[in-house]
Amino acid sequence: MSSLNQLNEVNGLVDRANCLVKPPGGALACMVNSEIGAVLAVMRRNVRWGVQYASDDEQIEHSLIMSFKELRKNIFSWQNHWHTIDPVLYLQPFLDIIKSDETGAPITGVALSSVYKILNLQILDSETVNVDNALHLIVDAVTSCRFEVTDPASEEVVLMKILQVLLACMKNKASISLNNHHVCSIVNTCFRIVHQASSKSELLQRISRHTMHELVRCIFSHLPDLDDKSHELARGSKSSPNTEDNVAEPSHTVQDKQYVDGYTSVESDSKKDNNTTVKDSTSTADSSMMDPYGVPCMVEIFHFLCSLLNVMENIEVGPRSNPIAYHEDVPLFALGLINSAIELGGASFGNHPKLLALIQDELFYNLMQFGLSMSPLILSTVCSIVLNLYHHLRTKLKLQLEAFISTVLLRIAESKHGASYQQQEVAMEALIDFCRQPMFVTELYANYDCDISCSNVFEGLANLLSRSAFPVNSPLSAMNTLALDGLIVLLHGMAERVGHDSSGPGEASLELQEFKPFWTLRCHDYDEPLHWVPFVHNMKNLKRMLMTGVDHFNRDPKKGLEFLQGLHLLPDKLDPRSVACVFRYTMGLDKNLIGDFLGGHDEFSVLVLHEFSRTFDFQDMNLDTALRIFLETFRLPGESQKIQRVVEAFAESYFEQSSDILVNKDAALLLSYSLILLNTDQHNSQVKKKMSEEDFIRNNRNINGGNDLPRDFLSELYHSISENEIRMVPDQGGASGVLTRSHWLGLTHKAKQTSPYIVSDSGSHLDYDMFAILSGPAIAAISVVFDHAEQDYVLQSCIDGYLAIAKLSASYNFGEVLDDLVVSLCKFTTLLHPSFNERSILYFGDDIKAKMATIAVFTIANRYSDHIRSGWRNILDCILSLQKIGLLPARLASDATDELEPPSSDNDQVKTSAAQSPPSQVPPATPARKSSGIMSRFSLLLSYDSEEPAPQPSEEQLAARQRTLQAIQNCHIDTIFAESKFLQADSLLQLVRALVMAAGRPLKGNNNSLEDEETAVFCLELLIAITLNNRDRIMLLWQNVYEYIANVVQSTVMPSTLVEKAVFGLLRICQRLLPYKENLTDELLKSLQLVLKLDARVADAYCEQITQEVMHLVKGNAMQIRSHMGWRTIISLLSITARHPEASEAGFETLSYIMSDGAHLSPANYVLCANAARQFAESRVGNVERSVRSLDLMSGSVICLVTWFYQTKEAAGEEAAIKMSEDILEMWMRLVQALRKVCTDHREEVRNHAITLLQRCLTGVDGIQIPTDLWLQCFDLVIFTLLDELPEMSNQLSPKDYRFIEGSMILSIKLMSKVFLQSLRDLSRSNSFCQLWLKVLGCMERYLNMRFRGRRSEKIHELVPELLKNTLLVMKTSGILVPSDPVGGDSFWELTWLHVQKIAPSVQLEVFPGEELEKLQENLAKSGCSPLSEGNVLVPPNETTA
């Protein structure tokens, strides 16, 4: 328990130090007095100190006891002015006890406790008098503590108290007074206790290590507060190692007592390493170590911590030994201390060059070495350190981080070079931790994948995660799940950045127009995204081209260079400098081929070789280091002549840059050769007798211009080569998996010349390019994992990944990626499985994977529908599967268009409800459509087998069904179609095409099953809903929609729900769109011609409903219909209904709406409406009243003609006016012809009314100037034809109908007479008047002589003479009928009377009495003229005119 308290005391130092208040002087005196009493009490227990001894019988106390007694006398006299007392006065007695080798462990322990108490109670602070000297004395005393060991337990207590006191010194407020030397001494002492504790108890081991960690944290926590004092670093780093000063030394007495040993084990374990302890300044005159502690001591401590990792280089490894396992404890401890230092020092390490240099070179090299070890624990710790370094210092460690990620993490995670499964897991976890850093991935891509001198790290990471996620054997392993997490992290990071100053793909040209030295390209500002983003895009495109050239070069160097010239990556005329730079700065070139090229004997190769050697910076570099860096870039050729040329070029370049020791380039050449020979001698297993250091020195005598090189210089070279081989076969891209010192030197040399590290902000500047690389492998990997996964959290991770990919695909317009994603997800919904049916509801409710996939599919369809193209087919297939089993809302299609309903008004009867389809009156033989509602489907499921009683569903089944319904409800499928009006044009078109394709499959397969028809009907409803929702861009969809509806209409021969939906859907589209799309009126109305093409049986079944819809269409949009073609379609549909029992009423109502009062009559529809009205008048379907009303509509339309004729006077031009007049006369002619046809109707009332109205139309056109020719045509085609048809009709009637026809004939003969008299003036001017007149007389004669059942009609017999008389009187009055000269043939006069004699002989005398006739003849003879115009043809007497 006491030991545990000790540990707790160590842990609580910081908190107590910060919260305690300095006690007053009297209390301080009491505290010190109690500590004095405690020390004296323990000393008196000891025989040595308890027994007084003296010489010459005088008792003299020991000086240690005397000092305490003297102190006790004074402390209470200081209590009023304690703050002025030098703390050395009351500390010195305790320190003397600690340093004395005469005291035992109990006494030393109590003294240490007293000092700890004084430090821990904050009696000393920065304001205390002479506090710096007091702390120095404490540190000196404690670090040189000596005591006699009596038992192991007491020894451990003393060691723990030493640790407590040293840590308290560092955490005391006055610790800023400590100098660099004392801080190094404290760390040295603590580390030695750590080492010695390895043979002690577990508690001491833990406390010592914990104290070491606390010390490091305490020291490096001050680093951010320190300025960059380069002079301190310069001086502090030169202190020489001294492992003996201020360390507890072994002290053996004659009595063989045990004392504290000073870590001789560490020194013996590392005889070849002089840096196992912190350096101090006792062996140097440098005064920086005596300054207040700061950067110099931190440099020494950090270097010491790094040196602990070098122990591995000096351990002899046996064939079966595992050095990492054997010495795992030491590097783990050192790595933990380093991690603590970096955590607290943070970015401040970068402000101090010496500290930064240690991290860049020595630390990172060791981290790489230990990262490739076999210990997962060490690898984990190394990864933690590197992650901290990335977070704080990544801008200073560009190439080091690249090497660690690509050489260590990626390779181990790929299970290369025999990595264990545990190592793979650790590496994968580390990679994912890196990926979780906010901008790690972006910076990875920008700094490495877009740098021509670096490898494609991001691409490698993406490929690794994708491959590692694939399960080799089911079920999933932890590695698969880890890799999936990594992919999800990458995708989520990109998805969260969407919209943050995102940019598209690099717009740099893929072809260079001219050669530019690409290795010299630099960005103007690496801190500003506006500059570096285009720059890295350009460099990435350049790198792609360069890698293509690398492939060509590795196959054939000559053709490779030519290919690079073609890409303008090399000048058209090769120059040595450019080729040398391509060899020097291009990744991936075959180093064997480079070596052969550089060693070539031709002039150009030699020039390239020399230029190549000049690309290196050998300034202030040792010869062996320079040679390592040089030979790391290519493989030294095997031929001696090539080797000579290469080494000569190297020696020349090295001498030009580093000529401090060597006097000429020949010396550099000879020494370089000597180093290559030494390297072969030392590291070739075939050489049995190895060259000694003396041999090497002797071999290089007199080579420096006849003089010897310094022995130390040669000795250093010898040891460097013998300890670290120069690899003559450099690693091709690090494929060997062994990090050599030569490779590391090359990397650090390259790091000095590399471009700056780009720090990205939170923008998504490069996410487009990265997603292009990641998307394909990610979808494949996630799909495989989703297929094999069983755990819910893994499934949810996959869904999250899918949604992130969907978001990115939509944001960056990767339509194909989104389609692939939809296809992959739809496979997991199980909805596309052929066996999916009503029974599948039960299984679907419990299938977590299927439900998650289904919800994800429709979430994507709702959120990112703008970017879906071919994926709509799969989505619709899923919807159709749900529709077949009744899991969709019954109003799915109609709900999508409800919002288009216009507000209620006085014309509500004109509007139709889009939510309800027209009621179908299908003949009973047609099977009714099965209900698609959810409840009806469940009813069907419950009675699945009608022959047997359906079992009641269990509670579990009901719960499963409820879960299924809830899942489908969460999909919000209806929103997809309701929001289709917001879809982009391409996506909308693809959706429509997918619907047409899905709806057309039953038609193509000629499968008329009810289920297939329901599918087609459902698709058609959706198609119509989408069309109505997108009225503003109807032309985009119209062709597809129209073609499908036409296909349905023309291929259907029997009534069905599908054709019903097609026809009424088409009518709904026209109803909705006509008010908004005037420019499409003709196109829409033309589509209604499809209705006219319906099979007779189909048309008959739906005629009434079609007519109702046409009526609503006309009433709502009559003003929008202006073209003849549009009206022809509408009137054609109405005309058909004239003879349909159910539809005729609505059809006539519609026609009446158009023609009544000429409200919607126009020249475009006049003739059409007149003919339609005639058909309704002739129709026997309706009652006589409707026929009469139809005739009234026809007659009333004359007003429109008169109005339009008046408007011709306002026409723009004469030609337009003439054309309009001709059109109006043509319409009038058509009208009277239509009426004439009804005049022969078998129904008397209709017939007579038609004749009456015909007379009105012929005589009531005063406002229209009807030309003579048209009157003549009217008599021939209308009046005479009517008069001819009525007698023929009478012959066909039954005897009882004779009396009914008599009235019609009377009306018709009156009509002829009235029309003739009204138009007499115009007709008389015609050359054909005589012929016309004779035809009129002939008609009167025929009607007069007509007999009915052998008897003549009295009414007609009385009427005709009277009409004739009136006509002759009018003609007489008009001067048309007068006597004429008979010369030259029968005259008009004679012909007239010739016919009149046959009709009514007495009429002549009544019209022309004898005296009047004679007078007229005399006047005629005198004048010699005829009343008829010239050209009238006289009919010979022997010819008749019918």
Active site residues: 639
If one counts every other C-beta atom within 10 angstroms of the C-beta of residue 638, the result is: 12
669 neighbors 700 (Cβ within 8 angstroms): no
Q: Is 511 left (phi over 0), alpha (psi -120 to 50) or beta?
A: beta
1356 neighbors 1302 (Cβ within 8 angstroms): yes
How buried is residue 617: exposed, middle or buried, by Cβ count under 10 Å (0-12/13-18/19+)?
A: middle
302 neighbors 340 (Cβ within 8 angstroms): no
Beta bridge partners of 1352: 1347
d(CA 281, CA 246): 11
Q: In the 8-state DSSP scheme, what is residue 762?
A: S
d(CA 1233, CA 1171): 10
Pairing verdict, β 258-259 and 148-149: antiparallel
d(CA 421, CA 211): 34
d(CA 398, CA 359): 12
Tokens of 280: 């101090």
850 neighbors 844 (Cβ within 8 angstroms): yes
Q: Which amino acid is at 79?
A: Q
Could you give the angle at which helices 640-657 and 665-683 cross, rounded to 10 degrees?
120
408 neighbors 454 (Cβ within 8 angstroms): no
Tokens of 769: 């390019």
Q: Is 130 left (phi over 0), alpha (psi -120 to 50) or beta?
A: left
Residue whose tokens read 């020039």: 607
The answer for residues whose C-beta is within 8 angstroms of residue 544's C-beta and 6 or more apart is: 510
Cα-atom radius of gyration of the chain, to the nearest Å? 57
How buried is residue 1192: exposed, middle or buried, by Cβ count under 10 Å (0-12/13-18/19+)?
A: middle
1091 neighbors 1102 (Cβ within 8 angstroms): no
d(CA 97, CA 185): 20
DSSP letter string over 799-862?
HHHHHHHHHHHHHTT-HHHHHHHHHHHHHHTSTTSTT-STTHHHHHTT-HHHHHHHHHHHHHHH
d(CA 1225, CA 1218): 11
d(CA 1094, CA 751): 82
1190 neighbors 1177 (Cβ within 8 angstroms): yes
Phi, psi of 179 (to 5 degrees): -100, 175
d(CA 876, CA 976): 11
If one counts every other C-beta atom within 10 angstroms of the C-beta of residue 227, the result is: 10
Phi, psi of 707 (to 5 degrees): -110, 165
DSSP letter string over 1048-1112?
HHHH--S--HHHHHHHHHHHHHHHHHTTT-GGGHHHHHHHTHHHHTS-HHHHHHHHHHHHHHHHH
d(CA 653, CA 614): 6
Tokens of 1002: 């039953």
Tokens of 468: 């590692």
